[in-house]
Structure 1
Amino acid sequence: MADPLDVTGSWDGIFSYPRAMPPNGFRCELREHAGRISGETQERRDTGPDRGTTILALLDGVRQGRSVRFTKRYDSPDLAYYAVVYDGALAADGDEISGRWDIAGHWSGSFIMVRQQRRGVAAKRTMAEEVR
């Protein structure tokens, strides 16, 4: 039987800054295998001369029960030295993660991410519609 809390899937999220900057959105793809999480994320650069461009990052972490922790490492050379640690809690239904992000010694803030529709649910709905 599949683990209902498995975080594999597509997620949309938003993170807040500690200062007066507006929040920034992101999209990510997570894969979980035996509690290990890997994935990729993309967000819009919101500062500097490249403002508005898309930046990519790799994710690596773990899930234990409803506790989710992963590190985001940017693919961009000028941001590669930042390791952003996300520490959150998975909602009981497995479709939302919320918590805090932290760049040690620099910035931290809150985040929330919501799973896009699960493929299994969509497939069951499609099959049910076809049967009717």
Structure 2
Amino acid sequence: MKTPNLPKPQRGLALSTLFIWLFIIIVLALLGMRLIPPWMEFATARKAIQEISADKVGTTTPQEVRKAFNARATIDDITAIKGEDLEITKEGGEVVISFAYRKEVPLFSNMGVYMDFAASSKQ
């Protein structure tokens, strides 16, 4: 007895599925392009205050710390905060620098994201 040849099931990607996946990838790419730069700026600002706090020379007064941060902000293109926004305290003879700010990132027409950032030079 001979078995009938059954057609093999179709394989591949439907055009509608391709469009859905392309839409998802494009939306994720746009979100990434909008949301990653504020995170990178925050990381740069956090690194700057940690290095300024660790540097014992020329950063003993709040004015010197603010001046050092403004110089670093100019070099590293930090625009979200300025030296005047820093909270500078001394704990145990060590200078502790901290900041907090909110960044609004517009996404599409009337939609946006608020991102709250806070960092301190104290680990």
Report the TM-score when normalising by structure 2: 0.30
Larger fraction in helix: 2
Relative to the length of structure 1, the TM-score reads 0.29
